[in-house]
Amino acid sequence: MSVAVRLACIHDLDLVAPLFDAYRQFYQQPADLALAQHFLRERFQHHESVVLVATDAEGEGIGFVQLYPLFSSVRAARTYLLNDLFVAPKARRQGVAAALMHEAADHVRALGAVRMALTTAHTNEAAQRLYESLGWRRDEQFREYTLTL
């Protein structure tokens, strides 16, 4: 499969929003394309995230990754959270996720970031294999905690 990965902008909203909506549905959220469009529009308008989109040879959106900028106080440097990664079912197991991950790393490296982080479910073994094959390492030193507000 021929895959092109590029930086998305607000003009790509109609291309990315259905993928984002499908991503949310994957995590048991109800289908809501209007919500997906609104959420992404806000991120684009306020420059609050970086979205990369993968397209096939016909220009159809087949995957995306969304990155949020953070900072490391200890390293006094910018880092990024790879928060969202999704590949359309018809395009899975064809290198799309790896292409998105490579482009994400190249993009944030060019922005001067010193690290990227992500979390995944303990049961998501396919994703864990992908991440580890791309050089990502599971943190064995720190535990992650969350507080639901």
Encode pLDDT of 38-73 as tens digits. 999 999 999 999 999 999 999 999 999 999 999 999
pLDDT tens digits for range 127-149: 999 999 999 999 888 888 888 89
Strands 115-117 and 77-87: parallel
Q: Place 87 in a pLDDT band, splitting at 50, 70 and 90.
A: very high
Secondary structure string (H, E, C) spanning 53-66:
EEECCCCCEEEEEE
Domains, in order of start, for the chain: 4-133 (3.40.630.30)
DSSP state of 146: -
- Diameter of the chain by CA atoms? 45
pTM of the model: 0.93
Helices 13-26 and 33-45 cross at an angle (nearest 10°) of 120
DSSP state of 140: S
